[in-house]
Structure 1
Amino acid sequence: MTQVVRNFLRPRPLRAGATLGVISPASTPKRDLVERGLAELEAAGYQIKLGRYAFGGGPLYYAGTLAERLEDLHAAFADDTIDGIICTRGGWGSAELLAHLDADLIRANPKAFIGYSDHTSLHTWLQNEIGLMSFYAPMVAADFARDGGVDRSSWKNTFEGASEWTLDAGDGLRILQPGVAEGNLLGGCISILTAGLGTPYAPQLGESILFLEDIGTKPYQWDRMLLHLRYSSRLEDVRGIVFGDMAQCVPQEEQDLLERAILHGLRGFPGPVAIGLRSGHVDGANRTLPLGASVRLDLTNSRNPSLSFLEPAVSV
């Protein structure tokens, strides 16, 4: 099978000793959770540089005004002492920044951007405008502050530049539709992705392996949003799809209904489909996913479905 990939720009590694810029592009985080998460990152060997508005305190539920949150994001990219950027939490607010981002500044200072949920819009912008690989990965207050909130293996493989590594059934993967496919891993929070449709910031999925997850989303809402993606022609070239673990969407007794709703929403989709990957909104250890990386989704073995990363996610 011919491998179809886009060549994304890879940022520098984030090994022990690297400096992380900590920002809050969306909602206000709880100070105690940020401090707990920062202590965990420092224990892992990282240096920390807080954004001016990282602890929040802005209008409504925002961590700052639009100008303040934008200032922190631009400053983190421009600061040569910062090796990578990690968000405190999601919530809502990242999409407000999109029309004001300085593409020339960010293009001249590519570095790892880490976050998930609401930050899906920023990931999509970085992919569309810069061609920069970014990271759907644990955040400071949301994950590093929790006991067992971070999957250390996928974090290390990603940010230290493992050439090849694999997520499999042990990471939650189960088969909904068998098959095998290759492409760039793209996606994120489905409600944020679909909200971008019809705007200049819509996801450009191409021949990708699409990862989709969310929180508090009912089966009929999954069905509706998948139909929206289909009607917008975003799934026409997608090679395969991986869904999150869904524990934050429905209780266990509704899992079968959710899976049937997903397959209904995807009816006619020819590629492999998996579910259960524990990344994003999860209770346990959050897996790190390098968005833009070349991957292989192999759902031919029911006992060992796998998502394999075929290249380093950082420059090595």
Structure 2
Amino acid sequence: MIKPERLHEGDCVGIIAPAGPPDEKELFNGMDKLKQMKLTPVPARNLFQKKMYLAGKDEERLEDLHSMFLDPAIKAIICARGGYGTARLAPYLDYSIIRSNPKVFWGYSDITYLHMAIQMYSGLVTFHAPMVASDLGKNDCKIETFHTFSQLFYPHANLFNRFNSTIEVIKSGCGSGRIVGGNLTLLTDSLGTEFEISTSGRILFFEEVNEPAYRIDAMLTHMKWAGKFENVCGVVIGDIKAVKGESEKIRELLYEFFCNAPFPVVRGLEIGHCQPNYGIPLGVQAHLDTDRISLMIEPGVE
């Protein structure tokens, strides 16, 4: 896997919306937060386009992604928000452009599809991490979310343990491997396509938002029958933001589904549609140890 270069104060970072259109007030609030980090946000040419539930035509969103990777002045690409739309772009990406111009690619939720595609066909480490409008631009954005960007300036391992997170053990054990994953809906959507996630010998991470317990059950079952849990080295469950009245059902489901797994499983990490929302690199080595109740993920930049 290719690790992108670290950032430095004053670096230009491209802001793109490869899925849904961002709220403009939240977008500008989020870009102000990036300026506070001593970064220079550069809006993509088509950032403010709208086409129904998409942030512009497929061609426009694709152009923005390509142009940001091609521009040598841009040192990182940060997504404005998720929503829907990245699966429509994946078949048309020029992966040779990304492979030849590696840089930080940062986002989550619907961006999961691009994480899978870019890692598969470009070999670039990417980041499942808070976005400009939907995280930094919100009034309830917590300082920890702001601070998670520091890993881009000063490469350090991400450590989650009982002292600094809400991590809970479902199934005991230890496992090491490259960490992959993202939003559970998008992971399930990839099955049967040329972008289907590979989990063998890896630690699988997933998170979800506003789905009832039966839908999460259906997606996990789909993943199971597709063989995605057969050779994993561990499972890490991030934030599962539940619709009203579903939290306890989901908790029970997760324990029932994974309690007899032959690999370690933890849940409750504040990664996903939550505050704080911690960013993690995908495609790097990670070690899960339930005896120490810890997840260690190596740095995502050099």
TM-score range, shorter chain: over 0.9
Cα deviations by residue, 1:108-166 (Å, 9 ceiling, x for unpaired): 1111110100000000001111111000001000111124345244331355211x341
TM-score of the superposed pair, with normalisation by structure 2? 0.94
In structure 1, what is the equivalent of residue 181 of structure 2?
Answer: 187
What is the distance in 2 between the residues matched to 1:177 and 1:104?
40
1:250 CA drift (Å)? 4.3
The alignment status of 1:298 with 2:286, answered yes or no, reads no
Cα deviations by residue, 1:6-60 (Å, 9 ceiling, x for unpaired): xx11001123222110000000111111000000100110011110111232x21
TM-score of the superposed pair, with normalisation by structure 1? 0.90
The alignment status of 1:151 with 2:145, answered yes or no, reads yes
* Aligned AA (1:292): G
1:98 to 72, 90, 99: 90
In 2, are the aligned partners of 1:182 and 1:295 still within 8 Å (CA)? yes
1:274 to 266, 270, 279: 266
In structure 1, what is the equivalent of residue 12 of structure 2?
Answer: 19
The alignment status of 1:167 with 2:154, answered yes or no, reads no
Cα distance change, pair 292–134 in 1 and its aligned pair in 2 (3 A): same
In structure 1, what is the equivalent of residue 32 of structure 2?
Answer: 39
In structure 2, what is the equivalent of residue 4 of structure 1?
Answer: none
* Aligned AA (1:293): V
Cα distance change, pair 75–242 in 1 and its aligned pair in 2 (3 A): same
What is the distance in 1 between the residues matched to 2:234 and 2:248?
21
2:279 to 267, 288, 301: 288
Cα deviations by residue, 1:176-220 (Å, 9 ceiling, x for unpaired): 111111111110000001011011111112211111101111111
The alignment status of 1:10 with 2:3, answered yes or no, reads yes
The alignment status of 1:56 with 2:39, answered yes or no, reads no
In structure 1, what is the equivalent of residue 299 of structure 2?
Answer: 312
SS at match of 1:201: coil
* Aligned AA (2:280): L
1:267 CA drift (Å)? 6.2
In 2, are the aligned partners of 1:15 and 1:160 still within 8 Å (CA)? no
1:268 CA drift (Å)? 4.7
SS at match of 1:151: helix
What is the distance in 2 between the residues matched to 1:16 and 1:220?
46
In structure 2, what is the equivalent of residue 127 of structure 1?
Answer: 119
What is the distance in 2 between the residues matched to 1:17 and 1:62?
31
Cα deviations by residue, 1:257-294 (Å, 9 ceiling, x for unpaired): 21221233346521111111111111x21101100121
What is the distance in 1 between the residues matched to 2:86 and 2:243?
26
In structure 2, what is the equivalent of residue 203 of structure 1?
Answer: 197
SS at match of 1:277: coil
In structure 2, what is the equivalent of residue 238 of structure 1?
Answer: 232
In 2, are the aligned partners of 1:223 and 1:264 still within 8 Å (CA)? no
What is the distance in 2 between the residues matched to 1:295 and 1:259?
25
* Aligned AA (1:312): P
* Aligned AA (2:43): L
More deviation, 171-180/91-100: 171-180
SS at match of 2:41: strand
Cα distance change, pair 122–226 in 1 and its aligned pair in 2 (3 A): same
How many residue pairs end up in the alignment? 299
What is the distance in 2 between the residues matched to 1:267 and 1:201?
29
What is the distance in 2 between the residues matched to 1:254 and 1:100?
38
Cα deviations by residue, 1:87-116 (Å, 9 ceiling, x for unpaired): 000000011001100011111111111010
Percent pairwise identity: 35
What is the distance in 2 between the residues matched to 1:257 and 1:198?
29
More deviation, 93-102/165-174: 165-174
1:244 CA drift (Å)? 1.6
Give the RMSD, CA atoms, in angstroms.
Answer: 1.6
